[in-house]
Structure 1
Amino acid sequence: MANTKAQLPVGARLADYLTVGYLAMRCPIGKVRETLAQQGLESQRRRGLPHDVLIYFVLAMVLYANVAYEEVLRLVIEGLRPLLGEEGLTQATVSKGAISQARGRVGAGPLKALYQEQVQPHGPAEMPGVFYRGLRIMAIDGSTLDMPDEAANAECYGYPPSSRGASAFPKLRFVAMAECGTHTLCYAEPGPYDQGERDLALSVMAHADSSMLVTADRGFYGYAFWKHSLATGARLLFRLSSVVRLPREEVLPDGSYLSTIYPSSADRKKQRYGIRVRVIEYTLKGIPDAEPVYRLITSWLDPI
């Protein structure tokens, strides 16, 4: 196994320093210090590794995931120097152990707070895919991420099952609301691997409002989740499994039709707790030997 520390491929370039400067522009140093102060984590001394510099170091690690800690920190320090001057940046070399200790003291709280406040839908109206009929187009979806193979991560997130035992790394599951035009992942909610995406999506959907059109794949459909989502005031457009019963109650001029969803078959039989929806069916042309029918349901009952 090689013992050489990973370095930037061709050394630090001007573009790398500009990247750090851009991070500081999008997440201003004043906001970082304010967030640290609110959580009682501002640096008492400006020697060693100031906590505000550490925040930018963690952000930069996402962009330079395969580069050694010390190399990323050196890049961050040099990139911030034109913005911060020499205050607290006189030491350009900090050991990996010191970095880990500083990260432990700061924790995840400030980063979570900055994410929740800074990462918001931001696409301009003239950008393709951002708006439809005055509504901002958002999409609920989920994914997983490998986490470092450490005891705390294993206990919190768990290992996904494998045909030959457990997998090599713990996995974090998350659900986020993506702005379709910019692909910005907003309001992300993390959880253990075995937690269902629909459960995580409940807190994500709480951020929706009447300015949005929220789309989701068929795995997110359920009566309870649909009702919860409607309460936000957002317009909804979900893809639907073919097994969900949706009788044609009223066919509309454009070929779509109105139907009613119920919590259970018993509720459907007794005609209680129904929610009116609009169903859109379509096929994908050009598929050899088959043209499956796909279904969407929407809360948009009036003509689109």
Structure 2
Amino acid sequence: MEVGFFVSLQQTLFDIDDLHSFSDLSTFAQHIPVEWVESALHLSSAATIRRRRLPADQVLWLVLGMALFRNEPVSEVARRLNICAQGLASDRLMARSGVSQARQRLGAKPVEWLFRQTGAVWGQERYPGDDWQGLQVLAADGAVLRTPDNAALRAHFGSGNTGTDRQTPYPMMRVVALMNVRSHVLLDAQLSPYRRSEIRLADDFIDRIPDHSVTLFDKGFWSADLLLGVAAGGAQRHWLIPARKGLVSETLQTYNADDQLLQMRVSPQARKRHPGLPATWDVRAVSYSHKGKRKTVYTSLPAARYDTDAVARLYQERWEIEVGFRDIKSSLQHNAVTLRSKTVSLIYQEVWGLLLGYNVIRREASQAALAHGQAPARVRFKFAYQYIAAQLIVMAAAQPLSRTGARLSELRAGIGHLFLDDRPRPSRPRSVKMSKTRYPVNRQAAPLK
């Protein structure tokens, strides 16, 4: 993707009539190749040759537009981006039911597939200076998104219980993602109802962790079968995770006062799930001081090659995935209380579109940073997103058929002014932003799977 995605996307929206017209748009194919779009649309369970106001290929981009214009009604997003079948009046507001029906016909699978394809290709791209001692730096973590509260969504997604007779006021979807912390592009993600555990969701994408990488985990991912699976699944695939209290270990070797090699037992539960696991496993424990507190991280990085201080400093980069989730919730979602869709299938479609939109913005920001000799993570996501969203509307109205190259230069030049300064990020303690409600709690809820 050597030129901006968004301009070519807008150009495409004006010109397409059916899927075959994609193959004639060479500029578009440089960004999201035609093969990706065709493969995604083949997954739609309601393929049809009927000429509709919103054909499936354009509904795919409507879902992406929903992620970029969260505060606009879906029908208004379609009108603003001029998404309609060629030959039909584009300035007429589409019926809300027609847009919903078009989204239902498309389904979630094409959007999910397209997101995964962008993650597989863009997430492993290397930028100058973004490696850590020859390893690509990744992070895995989870977040929750709230859905509107209706019987079908609460039955499917569930909600969080507390120690009192209360539960969360909205059903919640769990998201677990794998991120390239240097470019902030998501390599992969898993979605599920709330009661599915983060560890089991992470199991589904560890096979996609690239070789010659180190993955930073939150302490909630402590699991021998997960971490051993990361290390054994490829060449030079390492992990780093905070120590947990109460773990029993035996010291095998002491490298220095802050660095030891420990041996731990693999739990019977883990060996029951994965009979091939060993009875014990060795982990390296690195300790350091942070804001007057003593902290320890466990890792598979060998002491002979990666020194104590470097490993301790590396774990601080895990915060970058928290920044990514903040960008999605705060910037793209505008801190909305819930997602906008009202049915289970459209909730999944909306979230896959949200993750796809996030990746598209991060990819374009990374390319702009590269053009300006900056690190991709230094681009301000919020301002880059706002700038690109505003340009989308302008370009949709202008239809710049002959000025694509000039528009691309203008777009990246504008993003080039949106870099972060070198001031340290302020420390803001986490706080509970929503109180619990007095919904009755089912104490016989199913256990985590």
The TM tier, using the shorter chain, reads 0.7 to 0.9
Q: 1:184–1:152: structure 2 CA closer, same or farther, 3 Å change rule?
A: farther
In the other structure, the counterpart of 1:65 is: 70
Alignment partner, residue 115 of structure 1: 115
Question: Is 2:227 the counterpart of 1:226?
Answer: yes
Q: Which amino acid aligns with 1:236?
A: W
Change in Cα spacing, 1:165 to 1:264, as seen in structure 2 (3 Å) is closer
- Cα pair 1:49 1:88 within 8 Å, conserved: no
| Deviation at residue 214 of structure 1 after TM alignment | 0.9
1:189 and 1:201 in contact (8 A); partners too? yes
| Equivalent residue for 1:262, pick from 259, 262, 265 | 265
Amino acid at match of 1:137: V
Aligned to 2:135: 135
Shift of 1:29: 5.6
By how many angstroms is 1:23 displaced?
A: 9.8
For structure 2, the residue ranges without an aligned partner over 5 or more in a row are 1-5, 14-27, 269-277, 307-449
- Say which one has the larger Rg: 1
Does the 8 A contact of 2:283 with 2:299 survive in 1? yes
SS of 2:42's equivalent in the other structure is helix
Matching residue of 2:99: 99
Is 1:278–2:281 an aligned residue pair?
A: no
Cα deviation for residue 206 of structure 1 reads 2.2
- One-letter code aligned to 1:126: P
Q: Which amino acid aligns with 2:145?
A: L
Contact 2:124 2:187 in 1 (8 A): no
| Paired residue secondary structure (2:156) | helix
TM-score when normalising by structure 1: 0.78
Amino acid at match of 2:253: E
In structure 1, list runs of 5 or more residues that go unmatched. Answer: 1-16, 82-86, 266-271
- Residue 7 of structure 1 corresponds to none
CA distance in 2: counterparts of 1:146 and 1:23, whole angstroms: 33
Separation (CA, whole Å) in 1 of partners of 2:181 and 2:12: 22
Residue 50 in 1 paired to residue 55 in 2?
Answer: yes
Aligned residues of 2:266 and 2:281 also touching (Cα < 8 A)? no
Please state how far the C-alpha of 1:34 moved relative to its aligned partner. 4.0
Between the aligned partners of 1:23 and 1:169, the Cα distance in structure 2 is: 38
One-letter identity of the residue aligned with 2:104: G
Alignment counterpart, residue 125 of structure 1, candidates 124, 127, 132: 127
Conserved 8 A contact 2:146-2:172: yes
Q: Partner of 1:77: helix, strand, or coil?
A: coil
Whether 1:178 and 2:179 are equivalent positions in the alignment is yes
User: Contact (CA 8 Å) 2:258, 2:288: kept in 1 or not?
Assistant: no
- Residue 207 (structure 2) aligns with: 206
Q: CA deviation at 1:242?
A: 3.2
Instruction: Give the TM-score taking structure 2 as reference length.
Output: 0.54
In structure 2, the CA distance between the partners of 1:156 and 1:140, relative to structure 1 (3 Å rule), is same
The 1-side partners of 2:207 and 2:45 are apart by 28
Give the direction of change, closer, same or farther, for the CA distance of 1:89–1:28 in structure 2 (3 Å limit): farther
Structure 2 vs 1, CA of residues 48 and 294 (structure 1 numbering), >3 Å: closer, same or farther?
A: same
Which residue does the alignment assign to 2:152?
152
Cα displacement string for residues 241-287 of structure 1 (whole angstroms, at most 9, x for unaligned residues): 2322334321115841111121149xxxxxx7222221101111xx4
Q: For residues 19 and 219 of structure 1, do their structure 2 counterparts lie closer, same or farther at Cα, with a shift above 3 Å needed?
A: farther
Any idea what SS the aligned residue of 1:248 has? strand
Hey, what's the Cα distance between the residues in 1 that align with 2:187 and 2:12? 17
Q: 1:211 to 1:21 in 2, by over 3 A?
A: farther
Over the residues paired in the alignment, what is the CA RMSD in angstroms? 2.7
Letter of the 1:221 partner, please give it: W
Sequence identity, in percent? Answer: 23
Please say which of residues 91-100 and 165-174 is displaced more in the overlay: 165-174
Aligned residues: 268
The corresponding residue for 2:413 is none
Give the AA of the match of 1:248: T
Q: Which amino acid aligns with 1:273?
A: A
The structure-2 alpha-carbon separation of the partners of 1:137 and 1:190, relative to structure 1 and needing over 3 Å to count, comes to same
SS in 1 for 2:153: helix
